[in-house]
Chains A and B, each alone.
Chain A
Amino acid sequence: MPAPPLLALKGISKRFGAVQALADIDLEIRAGQVVALVGDNGAGKSTLVKIIAGVDPADHGVVVWDGRPVHITRPHEAQALGIATVYQDLALCDNLDVVGNLFLGREIHRVGVLDEVEMERRTLGLLDTFSIRMPSVRVPVASLSGGQRQTVAISRSLLGEPRLVLLDEPTAALGIEQTAQVLDLVDRLRERGLGVLLISHNMGDVKAVADWIAVLRLGRNNGFFDVTTTSHEQIISSITGATDNAVSRRGTREWEVG
């Protein structure tokens, strides 16, 4: 009997007014696995991330965490479970320094006062662990480069020692070298037994680090592929809906039989 998946979504649906953003989505992520979530613009990837992160709960469906159903209705509930999220738009406070951003919402106190020394010490320790270089941890993040800001955002998610990390387009705005650094970081997360849900448009990144690829198309599941046995073309066609895939072929066969 294998361990239950870290996170399992069953029949998740979400509607924004007249738009059905997600319909009947299933997804499983196991510890020590990198699952890539791919799909065209508007396929519902970010909406799904917001549901898991507790920013915008689902209308219907069940979220199963570590084998038991949970209701995640607020971001800190997801954090308490061990789900950390790095958003596409980074969600950093430009005016706070690196330490302030890392510890935002979970500051360390000492006799009722912010313990800046301890927070700075832990920040430097974390950056050191992941061999991250930063000019200073006491400059406002507004004055950092895009790559450095992404590093801050990911470091921030690792601080709470999460078990599942959601990365929303972590390499979208980065150069080649910085992308490689982020992908190395994803590898290190898997080695440490964390589950990773990686959202990406870049098929190269996905093939490089993911174990499984989940495809969304127009708010629905459109395939779940093993990276080692699936061709690039299969994934692309599943994303765009250009040709048949296993799911739709099965559907049409049943239609023909019926």
Chain B
Amino acid sequence: MSGGSGTAGDRPHRWGALRDSLRSGELGSLPVLLSLASIWLIFASLDEKFLSPRNLSNLSVDIVGTGLIAVGVVFVLLVGEIDLSVGSVSGLAAAVFAVLNVQHGMAEVPAVLVAVALGAAIGAVHGFFFAKVGVPAFVVTLAGLLGWNGLMLYVLGSSGTVNLDDEGLVAMLTSHYFNDVAVAYGVAALGTAGYFLVSFRDARRRIAAGVPARTGGGIAVRTGALGAVTFAAAFVLNRFQGLPLALLIFITVLVGLDHVLRRTTYGRMIFAIGGGVEAARRAGLGVVRVRISVFMVSSTMAAVGGLFLASRVTSASQASGGGNLLMNTIAAAVIGGTSLFGGRGRVWSALLGVLVIQSIASGVALLGIQAAVQYMITGGVLLVAVVIDALSRRAQKAHGRV
């Protein structure tokens, strides 16, 4: 019998459970929420414009490109691997779209599809060399980092920069806002009601089946918290230009992929491989196929994210996908609480992590401090996140040995 759970009964239930989960190393989203809150508090106290609707609305669009790429990185991290090529792939996808659309006159929709399909194909190549041939993912994707960046420069050719159509579909991705206040509130209401319905039905089925269920109070508190956050966000966004289309797409993708990871066999296989490849193999799981597929998810999301990043600046250039984009995406996933050791993490960590990183960037820019400070702060936050990850892993192991 483990030590923590044995004494939980003689304390108020909630605190016992919290203490137990802290001891067993299941911190969840708590550290990143705390650090996000403190970052916002610090910047808000230094400059009141930080929490202005305009700044927060811009922040909500700025996170989308990097965030979408980070979601893909989460998939790869969950199987205990890494993808260093996401930056280059995102730049390549943007360049391919821009060249096809602007220089060759291909319509936007097919050009987008080609760019995204290219991302999926690149992921399949990485996955093949990693899972079939057995080259470490680190090296395969490092080769990808260089190779796909080279291909992007080749595709862009001598022009170097291709400007997108300002009124085009891709440009709209990050420039369109739903000005009607009803849209933001409607989405918030829909999300909260949906969460409540799913939780409520789950609890009813559990009670009917005679297995432990979440209490009505627990559901109410969680639904209330979700409602408060979403309606506050809707309120703030409506005070600027309304709900950004980019944010809506990002949230939809997050909800969808969260469903895939937590509620489908495919998602269960990803977690299983991250927790123990040998165990997964012995359970008869198609380890090779799943491994290839997560690299495909990663590269596909990189391509999609690349289009959003290009949309934000309405151009694809030699700098696309470069800079510290790669480091930001991986840092976002890890800061958000996805373990570098594989097997632990959530899709939502991409949202929380990228919020932390972009908040720092936004706050530093607002205060007019040099970028150097931004890198140092982000680096520090990342280090703390990894330390928490490693310590919680150790705590969990120690917990099991009681």
Contacts and interface: CB of A to CB of B under 8 A. Distances in A.
Interface string A89-131: 1111111100011001101010011100110110010000000
Contacts of A101: 279
Interface stretch (A61-69, A134-142, A180-188, A201-209): A134-142
B264 A140 contact: no
A159 to B, nearest CB: 11
Which of B1, B275, B397 counts the most A-chain CB atoms under 10 A from its CB?
B275
A212 interface: no
Given A89-B278, A93-B280, A117 B206 contact: yes
Interface string B267-278: 010011011101
A53 B263 CA distance: 29
B209 A96 contact: no
Contacts of A120: 206, 209, 211-212
Nearest to A134: B1
Contact of A95 (B202, B259, B275): B275
Interface in B332-391: 343-344
A79 interface: yes
A240 interface: no
Nearest to A103: B268
Given A87-B282, A104-B280, A104-B285, A124 B211 contact: yes
B268 A100 contact: yes
A211 B25 CA distance: 44
Instruction: Give the contact-size bracket for chain B.
Output: 35 or more
Contact of A74 (B202, B284, B399): B284
Which of B1, B24, B26, B397 counts the most A-chain CB atoms under 10 A from its CB?
B1
Contacts of B396: 140, 142-143
Given A91-B276, A92-B279, A117 B271 contact: no
B400 interface: yes
A105 B287 CA distance: 11
Which of B205, B344, B400 counts the most A-chain CB atoms under 10 A from its CB?
B400
Contacts of B275: 93-96
A76 interface: yes
Nearest to B6: A135
B282 A85 contact: yes
B398 to A, nearest CB: 9
Contacts of B252: none
A136 B284 CA distance: 26
Nearest to A119: B211
B17 to A, nearest CB: 10
A27 interface: no
B2 interface: yes
A89 B278 CA distance: 10
B284 A79 contact: yes
A117 B211 contact: yes
Nearest to B284: A76
A94 B265 contact: no
Contacts of B276: 91-95
A98 B241 CA distance: 48
A162 interface: no
Contacts of B221: none
B45 interface: no
Contacts of B5: 135-136
List of 3 A-B pairs having minimum Cβ-Cβ separation, nearest first: A105-B283, A93-B275, A95-B275
Interface of B: 1-2, 5, 24-26, 202, 205-206, 209-212, 259, 263-265, 268, 271-272, 274-276, 278-285, 343-344, 396-397, 399-402
Interface of A: 53, 55, 74-76, 79, 85, 87, 89-96, 100-101, 104-105, 107, 109, 112-114, 117-118, 120-121, 124, 135-136, 138-146, 149
Given A74-B284, A95-B344, A142-B397, 11 more contacts: A76-B284, A104-B283, A112-B264, A113-B263, A114-B265, A120-B209, A139-B24, A140-B396, A142-B400, A143-B399, A144-B2
